């Protein structure tokens, strides 16, 4: 099926250049030519150096750290530039959606920043959004434009399935992730254990507020003598993950592995995870991982083939859902 728009164009900001280039290589188009400048007053200027009039434009931008605010502004400004250059259709491709944890008002006088970000992306000119494994599924509903949420969990499942372990058990780091953890375990053909985590409130902060910290209470399931595969959508500071690792050690786990889609690795996360008893941590390249955030026990799988396949399908007007209905589809390999 042919597209109702002219040829496809892919542009990117500075959020994840390597992934954007890998996507272009798989699609078979050159990365769009754009100039991105940050002036001394911290204003960001973007110019598209080629015509996008009536083109089907995809703007790839992971909302990554450091300089998260710059990455958000780059995305918004590039969307606006495409809109004002009369692009036929503009799709915001956001492999990692920032502010995913601020998806609701869970205490008085706080914002819903994930919704604010969605509003800004739409106002900037996006006609649709493509993203991967949102931290909270309801974020899809924050958009009033078509939104496709892909999952990279199948990449992690296939990686561990190829090891052919007969003593593996999947571990969800908390009850909130239990449903996705169960799906992971079912796809792997392994049992599921759940770490029950509650946040404990500490009173008496000097400004009159309270602080909360995670506390692992117990484990639902038997992991003694088994290979444990911890699975989560993202790892930020690694604090919760390390607590679960210690819990699994106390419960007699044979070996401990971990996996996540989004390797945020904020603060000292890399150092803490490297020094832990993890045999291996498997993640994807939705976020850039510079050399200082890598170590021998880290394995990075690429989502470029999945995103490239979906971009081609969107451009051609072909169903995206059918990819996930075919267990051995090349985009899932």
Is it true that 6-151+304-332 and 153-301 share their CATH fold? yes
Q: What class does CATH assign to 6-151+304-332? A: alpha beta
Looking at residue 253, what is its pLDDT?
A: 98
| Catalytic residue numbers, as ranges | 197
- Which residues, other chains included, contact 183 with Cβ-Cβ below 8 Å and sequence gap of 6+? 153
The gap between the terminal CA atoms of the chain, to the nearest Å, is: 24
- pTM value is 0.91
**Residues 16-51: tens digit of each pLDDT:** 999 999 999 999 999 999 999 999 999 999 999 999
pLDDT tens per residue across span 209-256:
555 555 657 899 999 999 999 999 999 999 989 999 999 999 999 999
- 178-188 and 153-161 are packed helices; what angle lies between their axes, rounded to 10 degrees? 40
Averaged pLDDT, 63-80? 97
CA distance 78 to 145: 18
Would you list the domain boundaries of the chain? 6-151+304-332, 153-301
Fold of 153-301: Rossmann fold (3.40.50)
Query: CA–CA separation, 78 vs 80, rounded Å?
Result: 5
Q: How is residue 226 written in tokens?
A: 């088994």
What DSSP state is assigned to residue 325? G
Strands 168-172 and 255-263: unpaired
Q: For residue 13, what are its two tokens?
A: 């900001």
- The structure tokens listed for 294 are 């890598």
pLDDT for 189-206, tens place per residue? 999 999 987 666 655 555
Lowest mean per-residue pLDDT among 2-6, 257-261, 308-312 = 2-6
Q: Per-residue confidence at 1, pLDDT binned at 50, 70, 90?
A: low
């Amino acid at each position: 099926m042919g597209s109702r728009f002219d040829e496809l164009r892919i542009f990117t900001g500075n959020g994840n250049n390597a992934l954007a280039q890998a996507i272009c290589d798989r699609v078979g188009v050159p990365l769009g030519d754009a100039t991105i400048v940050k002036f001394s007053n911290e204003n960001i200027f973007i110019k598209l150096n080629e015509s996008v009039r009536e083109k089907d434009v995809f703007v790839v931008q992971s909302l990554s750290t450091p300089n998260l605010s710059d990455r958000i502004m780059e995305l918004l400004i590039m969307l606006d530039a495409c809109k004002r250059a009369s692009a036929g259709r503009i799709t915001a491709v956001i492999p990692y959606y920032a502010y995913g944890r601020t998806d609701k008002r869970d205490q008085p006088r706080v914002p819903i920043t994930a919704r604010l970000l969605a509003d800004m992306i739409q106002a900037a000119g996006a006609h649709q959004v493509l993203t991967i494994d949102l931290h909270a599924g309801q974020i899809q509903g924050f958009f009033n434009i078509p939104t496709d949420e892909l999952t990279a969990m199948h990449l992690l499942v296939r990686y561990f399935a190829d090891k052919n372990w007969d003593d593996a058990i999947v571990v969800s780091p908390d009850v909130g992730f239990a449903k996705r953890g169960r799906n992971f375990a079912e796809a792997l053909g392994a049992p599921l254990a759940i770490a029950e985590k509650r946040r404990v409130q500490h009173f008496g902060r000097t400004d009159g507020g309270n602080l909360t910290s995670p506390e692992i209470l117990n484990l639902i399931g038997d992991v003694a003598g088994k290979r444990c595969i911890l699975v989560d959508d993202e790892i930020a500071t690694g604090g919760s993950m390390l607590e679960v690792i210690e819990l699994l050690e106390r419960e007699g786990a044979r070996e401990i592995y971990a996996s996540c889609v989004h390797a945020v690795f904020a603060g000292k996360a890399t150092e803490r995870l490297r020094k832990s008893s993890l045999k291996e941590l498997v993640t994807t390249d939705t976020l850039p991982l510079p050399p200082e955030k890598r170590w021998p026990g880290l394995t990075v799988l690429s989502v470029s083939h999945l995103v490239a396949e979906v971009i081609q399908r969107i451009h051609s007007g072909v169903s995206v859902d059918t990819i996930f209905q075919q267990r051995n589809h090349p985009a899932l390999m």
